[in-house]
Amino acid sequence: MSTQAPPVHIGILLYQDFEALDIFGPLNCLNALSRDFPLQISILTPETTLKPLNTYPSDPGPHNSNFTQAVVPTHTTADPPKDLEVIFIPGGNGMYVDTPAISAAVQFVKDTYPKLRYLNTICTGSALLARTGILDGRRATSNKAFYKIVTAERPAVNWIPKARWVVDGNIYTSSGVTAGIDMTLAFIQDVYGRKYADEIADRLEYDRMLNPDEDPFAAKYGLA
């Protein structure tokens, strides 16, 4: 655990068609942590307005199913809070759509990272971070089902094929979806204390992985 006072202002960067559990899992952990620390949350959108952001799939699809949920952002990336200390970035299908909003998200992360204390990604959120160049030469991981796509897009990153999550300096990256919960609990343990990580895992009745190299999905997708 760091001897410095832990961060309190956490930003969540969302975009249209983000993966729900990528961010709701970590948020559940942070919600519980806020009982013990004066956390603040800002939900950031790269869109030009504060319109709600849908989870995947926002497209009704061939069966005309409208089974999506929406989150209301608090700030645009063009006008973010000045005191953000930590940012979480989920993955999702929306990140692979070439839109001005995704370009704005990449630029925002690139501009904001030097001011942050920590930057955390879940699943293919590491692909968005990789586009900034911040991960070049650093160790990182991503969703194993999309691993070859993500790594081919930015080979300058030292991608780790067998990892539930990876820590390189003040950057945490995790594998797919539920790995974000393990990464967030590891982040809480490192920054706020083991006591809180254990208590939150117990409260969620979540059997957390403690070894970041314990990654059964790497073998499943032929990566180990």
How high is the mean pLDDT of the chain? 96
Instruction: Let me know if residue 170 belongs to a domain.
Output: yes
Instruction: Let me know if residue 212 belongs to a domain.
Output: yes
Q: Which domain holds residue 71?
A: 9-220
The CATH number assigned to the domain holding 158 equals: 3.40.50.880
Cα distance between residue 113 and residue 171, in whole Å:
10
Q: What is the dihedral of CA 188, 14, 18, 101, to 10 degrees?
A: -150
**Cβ atoms of 25 and 87 closer than 8 Å:** no
Instruction: Let me know if residue 2 belongs to a domain.
Output: no
Instruction: Let me know if residue 1 belongs to a domain.
Output: no
pLDDT (0 to 100) of residue 224: 81
Instruction: Let me know if residue 43 belongs to a domain.
Output: yes
Q: What is the dihedral of CA 130, 17, 113, 80, to 10 degrees?
A: 160
In angstroms and rounded to an integer, the radius of gyration of the C-alpha atoms of the chain is 17
Instruction: Let me know if residue 116 belongs to a domain.
Output: yes
Sequence-distant (6+) residues with CB within 8 A of 143 are: 91, 123, 124, 150, 175, 176, 177
Instruction: Let me know if residue 148 belongs to a domain.
Output: yes
Instruction: Let me know if residue 204 belongs to a domain.
Output: yes
Cα distance between residue 170 and residue 80, in whole Å:
21
pLDDT (0 to 100) of residue 208: 96
Count structural domains, the chain.
Answer: 1
0.75 cut: is pTM over it? Answer: yes
pLDDT (0 to 100) of residue 25: 98
Cα distance between residue 112 and residue 208, in whole Å:
31
pLDDT (0 to 100) of residue 4: 85
Pairing of strands 171-174, 118-121: parallel
**Tens-digit pLDDT string for the chain (224 aa):** 667 899 999 999 999 999 999 999 999 999 999 999 999 999 999 999 999 999 999 999 899 998 999 999 999 999 999 999 999 999 999 999 889 999 999 999 999 999 999 999 999 999 999 999 999 999 999 999 999 999 999 999 999 999 999 999 999 999 999 999 999 999 999 999 999 999 999 999 999 999 999 999 999 999 98
